[in-house]
C-alpha cells in the first residue's frame, strides 16, 4: 500500500513540476496504470480517483477550450486522500510494531518459565 | 476557399511584432521552422473561423487571432496555431498582392489604425482598477521611479512593449488587451501588466502624478466579495498548475502575497493563513532551499484550493465558520483550580520566543497553557523573555510557582485552552505539592495503547499532551548524524514510545539531564520516572517530546 501511495504522490508531484500543458497527456496514461495498481493494493477510492484524473487529462487533450477546475478538484482531492491514507498507514505501522513487540515479550516470558 | 473578412483583415494587419506579443519570439521562430517541413491544410470554413490540420493537431483560427484554439494540450498560444496563422498570412498576402508581383511579408511601419486602436484601448482602461490592483505601496514606488527618470522603456508600434527592468518583466500590449502577454506567463491581467499600463498612461499624460496620488489617497477601496476572492485564488492556482513549477515565474510569490492581502481585507483569516504558508513554500523554492520538497508545495496548494472551493460554495453561516478568526478571542470561564505542571522555553520559526507554562486543572481534568511569547524582530540583541511579568496579581513570577497549586478567579481562556493575562483575573498562590498528589492516577498513562489516537497530526498541542509512566526504558545510541538523543520507553506489555530530543542551542542541559536520568534508571530499575510531554508521530513510531521529567512523582518535587 505504501508503495502505491508513494507512486501516486510521485506522479502528482511530477505533474506539478511539468505543468498540465506539458506533462498532462503523459500523466493521463500513468494515472490509468496507477488506478489498476491501486485496485490490486485494495485502495478502491484511490483507484476511482486515479481513473477520474486519467479521464480528465485524456479529455483535456481533445478539447479546444480548457476548463481545468474539475481537473484541479480531482488532483487536490487525490493529494488529500494520499495524506489521509499515510496517516492511517502510520497508525497501522505503530500498532503492528506494538503487536510484534508484545508477541516477542510473550515468547520470551514463556521461554523463561519453561 | 474564401477566408472570412474579419479574419482576413486580422491576418493582414498582424505583423511579426504582433505575433511575438501573442506568444513569444521562440514560438514564432519554431512555427516558421515547422512550416518549412509541413504545410497546414484547410479542412473547412465555418462562419468566422477556419479549421486547419497542422501535423497531428487541428487548429481553429479566428479573429482576433489570440482567440484561436488547438487540440494540443497547451492552453496558451502554441506553435501549431502560430504555424497555421503564419501560413494563412502568407496565403492572404499573396492574394492581396497586385497581379504579377510577389507577396512581400509585412514589416516596417505597422498600419496606423492598429497602433491607434491599441492606444485608444490603453487610454480607456480605468485607472482606479489599476491603482487598486497595485496598491498604494507599488503605485508610490512607480511614481518615485518615474520622477527619478529610472522608469520603464516603452516601444510603440502595432504592439506597445513596456520593459520593467527592476522586476525583469516585459509586457506586450496588443489589441484586444486580454491577449496581451507578459514574461511572467500569466494569462490574467497580472500586476506587471497593471504597472506597465499605468506607466504608459503617465507618459502619455492620460493621468498625471498629482491626480494619481490624490485619487489613491481618496480611494478607500472596496471590499471584494468572498466568492470573487476565492475565484481569484483558484484562478492563480490553475495558472500555476498549467505552467508547472519548472517554468513558474518568481512573481508568483508576489501574487500569493497579494491574494493573502486580499483575504485579510475581506475577513478570510484561515484562507489568508493557508496562502501565507503557500507563499513560504514558494519562497523556499525560489531561494533553492535544501529543505524544499515539491510534495510540501503540492500539499499547501491542495489546502488552499480545498478551502477556497468550500468557501466559494458555502452558505453565509457556513462561510463564517470556514473563514476562521484573526485572533483567538478569550472567553470568561469563571474560576480555575490550576497546578503548574511544567514549562518550556520556545523559539518559534514565526519570529516569537519565550516560555510556555502548562497547567493541569484539577476539577475539569484538562490542560491549560499560558504562552509568554514576545516578538524577536523588535528586540535587537535583547534576549526575549528575560523579563518575566507577574500575572494575575500573584506574589511572584510563574516560574517561581512551578509545582504549586493556584486558584484563578475571573479567568479567561481561548478556544484552544490558552489562558489570558487579563488584569480582570485574580490569582491566589497555594502550597507547593508533589504532582502525584494533585493529578489523579487516571491522568498518568501506564498502558500506552490510548496514546495513539491522541497523537494525530491535526490535533492541537494541548490535546497531544500526555503524562507517561513507563515500565522500562532503553537508552539508544546517540545519533551523531541527526544529533539526536533517544530513549525508548516501554509499557508493561512492550508497547513503546520514543522520547526524542534533537540537539539545538539551549537543549544541551535537557539532554544532559535525560542522560543522567537514563543512567540512574539503569542502576535502579524501580525508579519508575514519569515523563510529561507532547506526543507526535514520526515514521512508524509514536514519539514524545519531553517537557518535564519527574523521578519522585508522589514525593517532594
Among chain B residues, CA nearest to A59: B73
Q: What percent of chain B has pLDDT over 90?
A: 18
pLDDT score recorded for residue B557: 47
DSSP β-ladder status, B484-490 and B160-164:
unpaired
Q: What whole-number distance in Å separates Cα of residue A30 and Cα of residue A33?
A: 5
ipTM: 0.89
Tell me the longest C-alpha to C-alpha distance in chain A. 77
A-B C-beta contacts closer than 8 Å = 116
- Residue-range domain boundaries for chain A: 2-113
| Residue range B512-520: mean pLDDT, rounded | 85
Contact residues on chain B for A77, CB-CB shorter than 8 A = 306
pLDDT score recorded for residue B147: 79
| Residue range B324-350: mean pLDDT, rounded | 81
**Which residues are within 8 A (CB) of B32 and not within 5 positions of it... i.e. 6 or more apart?**
B86
| H or E segment and range at residue B489 | strand B484-490
Q: Which of B76, B241, B539 sits opposite A72 (nearest CB)?
A: B241
Per-residue pLDDT band at B375 (split at 50, 70, 90)? confident
Alpha-helix runs per DSSP H in B397-505: 435-438
Mean pLDDT of chain B: 84
Q: Which of A19, A65, A93 sits opposite B243 (nearest CB)?
A: A19
Q: Model confidence over A2-57: pLDDT tens digits?
A: 888 999 999 999 999 999 888 878 888 899 999 999 999 888 999 999 999 999 99
Cβ-defined contact of A19 to B245 (cutoff 8 Å) = yes
Q: Which of A22, A79, A96 sits opposite B299 (nearest CB)?
A: A79
| H or E segment and range at residue B32 | helix B25-37
Q: For an interface test with B, which of A6, A18, A20, A23 has the most B Cβ atoms less than 10 Å from its Cβ?
A: A20
Q: What whole-number distance in Å separates Cα of residue B551 and Cα of residue B219?
A: 65
Rounded to the nearest 5 degrees, what angle is found at the Cα of B256, between the Cα atoms of B254 and B257?
Answer: 65
Q: Is the pLDDT of residue A71 over 70?
A: yes
Q: What whole-number distance in Å separates Cα of residue A43 and Cα of residue A36?
A: 10
Q: Same CATH topology for B331-433 and B441-550? A: yes
Q: What percent of chain B has pLDDT over 70?
A: 92
HEC profile for B204-249? CCCCCHHHHHHHHHHCCCCCCCHHHHHHHHHHHHHHHHHHCHHHCC
Pick the CATH number of B441-550 from 1.10.150.20, 3.40.50.300, 2.40.50.140, 1.20.1050.90: 2.40.50.140
- Residue-range domain boundaries for chain B: 5-108, 114-218, 226-323, 331-433, 441-550
Contact residues on chain B for A16, CB-CB shorter than 8 A = 241, 244-245, 294, 297-298, 301
| Residue range B419-429: mean pLDDT, rounded | 87
| CB-based contact, B459 to chain A, within 8 Å | no
Q: Which residue has the cell 523579563?
A: B387
Least Cα separation, residue B365 to chain A (angstroms):
27
Residue pair B216/B59 in contact by the 8 Å Cβ criterion? no
The answer to whether the Cα torsion of B128, B133, B137, B141 is positive or negative is negative
Q: Is the pLDDT of residue B83 over 60?
A: yes
| CB-based contact, B313 to chain A, within 8 Å | no
In this structure, whether the domain defined by B331-433 belongs to CATH 2.60.40 is answered with no
The answer to whether the Cα torsion of B150, B151, B157, B159 is positive or negative is positive
For residue B32 the three cell numbers come to 516558421
Q: For an interface test with A, which of B73, B75, B239, B538 has the most A Cβ atoms less than 10 Å from its Cβ?
A: B73
Cβ-defined contact of B298 to A80 (cutoff 8 Å) = no
Cβ-defined contact of B246 to A18 (cutoff 8 Å) = yes
Q: What are phi and psi of B521, to 5 degrees?
A: -65, -35
Amino acid at each position: 500500500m505504501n508503495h502505491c501511495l508513494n507512486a501516486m504522490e510521485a506522479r502528482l508531484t511530477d505533474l506539478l513540476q511539468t505543468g498540465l500543458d506539458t506533462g498532462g497527456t503523459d500523466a493521463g496514461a500513468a494515472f490509468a496504470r496507477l488506478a489498476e495498481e491501486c485496485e490490486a493494493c485494495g485502495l478502491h477510492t484511490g483507484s476511482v480517483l486515479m481513473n477520474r484524473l486519467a479521464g480528465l487529462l485524456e479529455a483535456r487533450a481533445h478539447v479546444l477550450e480548457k476548463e481545468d477546475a474539475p481537473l484541479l478538484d480531482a488532483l487536490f482531492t487525490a493529494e488529500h486522500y494520499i495524506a489521509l491514507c499515510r496517516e492511517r498507514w502510520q497508525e497501522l505501522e505503530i500498532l503492528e510494531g506494538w503487536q510484534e513487540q508484545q508477541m516477542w515479550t510473550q515468547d520470551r516470558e514463556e521461554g523463561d518459565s519453561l | 476557399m474564401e477566408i472570412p473578412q474579419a479574419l482576413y483583415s486580422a491576418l493582414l494587419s498582424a505583423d511579426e511584432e504582433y505575433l511575438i506579443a501573442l506568444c513569444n519570439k521562440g514560438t514564432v521562430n519554431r512555427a516558421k521552422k515547422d512550416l518549412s517541413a509541413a504545410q497546414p491544410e484547410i479542412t473547412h470554413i465555418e462562419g468566422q473561423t477556419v479549421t486547419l490540420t497542422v501535423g497531428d493537431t487541428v487548429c481553429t483560427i479566428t479573429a482576433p487571432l489570440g482567440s484561436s484554439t488547438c487540440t494540443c494540450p497547451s492552453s496558451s498560444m502554441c506553435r501549431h496555431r502560430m504555424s497555421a496563422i503564419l501560413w494563412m498570412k502568407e496565403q492572404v498576402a499573396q492574394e492581396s498582392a497586385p497581379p504579377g508581383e510577389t507577396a512581400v511579408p509585412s514589416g516596417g511601419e505597422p498600419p496606423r489604425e492598429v497602433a491607434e486602436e491599441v492606444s485608444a484601448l490603453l487610454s480607456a482602461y480605468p485607472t482606479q482598477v489599476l491603482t487598486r490592483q497595485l496598491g498604494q505601496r507599488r503605485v508610490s514606488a512607480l511614481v518615485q521611479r518615474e520622477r527619478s527618470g529610472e522608469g520603464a522603456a516603452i516601444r510603440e508600434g502595432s504592439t506597445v512593449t513596456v520593459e520593467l527592468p527592476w522586476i525583469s518583466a516585459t509586457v506586450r500590449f496588443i489589441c484586444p488587451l486580454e491577449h496581451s502577454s507578459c514574461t511572467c506567463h500569466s494569462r490574467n491581467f497580472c500586476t506587471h501588466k497593471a504597472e506597465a499600463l499605468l506607466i504608459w498612461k503617465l507618459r502619455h499624460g492620460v493621468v498625471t502624478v498629482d491626480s494619481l496620488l490624490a485619487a489613491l489617497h481618496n480611494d478607500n477601496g472596496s471590499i471584494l466579495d468572498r466568492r470573487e476572492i476565492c475565484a481569484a485564488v483558484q484562478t492563480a492556482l490553475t495558472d500555476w498548475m498549467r505552467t508547472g513549477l519548472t517554468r513558474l515565474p518568481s512573481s508568483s510569490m508576489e501574487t500569493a502575497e497579494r491574494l493573502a492581502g486580499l483575504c485579510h481585507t475581506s475577513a478570510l483569516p484561515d484562507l489568508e493563513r493557508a496562502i501565507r504558508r503557500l507563499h513560504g513554500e514558494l519562497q523556499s523554492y525560489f531561494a533553492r532551499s535544501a529543505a524544499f520538497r515539491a510534495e510540501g508545495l503540492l500539499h499547501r496548494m491542495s489546502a488552499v484550493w480545498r478551502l477556497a472551493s468550500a468557501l466559494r460554495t458555502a452558505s453565509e453561516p457556513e462561510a463564517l465558520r470556514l473563514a476562521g478568526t484573526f485572533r483567538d478571542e478569550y472567553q470568561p470561564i469563571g474560576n480555575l483550580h490550576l497546578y503548574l505542571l511544567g514549562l518550556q522555553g520556545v523559539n518559534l520559526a514565526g519570529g516569537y520566543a519565550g516560555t510556555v507554562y502548562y497547567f493541569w486543572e484539577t476539577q475539569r481534568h484538562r490542560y491549560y497553557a499560558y504562552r509568554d511569547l514576545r516578538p524577536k524582530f523588535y528586540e535587537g540583541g535583547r534576549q526575549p523573555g528575560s523579563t518575566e511579568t507577574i500575572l494575575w496579581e500573584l506574589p511572584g513570577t510563574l516560574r517561581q510557582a512551578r509545582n504549586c497549586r493556584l486558584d484563578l478567579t475571573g479567568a479567561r481562556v481561548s478556544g484552544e485552552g490558552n489562558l489570558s493575562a487579563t488584569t480582570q483575573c485574580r490569582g491566589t498562590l497555594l502550597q507547593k505539592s508533589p504532582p502525584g498528589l494533585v493529578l489523579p492516577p487516571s491522568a498518568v498513562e501506564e498502558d500506552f495503547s490510548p496514546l495513539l489516537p491522541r497523537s494525530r497530526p491535526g490535533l492541537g498541542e494541548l490535546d497531544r499532551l500526555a503524562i507517561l509512566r513507563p515500565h522500562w526504558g532503553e537508552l539508544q545510541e546517540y545519533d551523531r548524524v541527526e544529533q539526536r538523543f533517544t530513549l525508548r520507553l516501554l509499557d508493561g506489555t512492550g508497547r513503546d514510545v520514543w522520547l526524542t530530543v534533537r540537539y539545538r542551542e539551549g537543549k544541551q542541559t535537557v539532554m544532559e539531564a535525560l542522560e543522567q536520568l537514563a543512567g540512574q534508571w539503569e542502576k535502579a530499575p524501580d525508579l519508575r520516572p514519569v515523563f510529561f510531554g507532547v506526543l507526535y508521530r514520526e515514521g512508524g513510531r509514536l514519539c514524545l517530546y519531553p517537557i518535564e521529567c519527574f523521578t519522585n512523582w508522589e514525593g517532594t518535587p
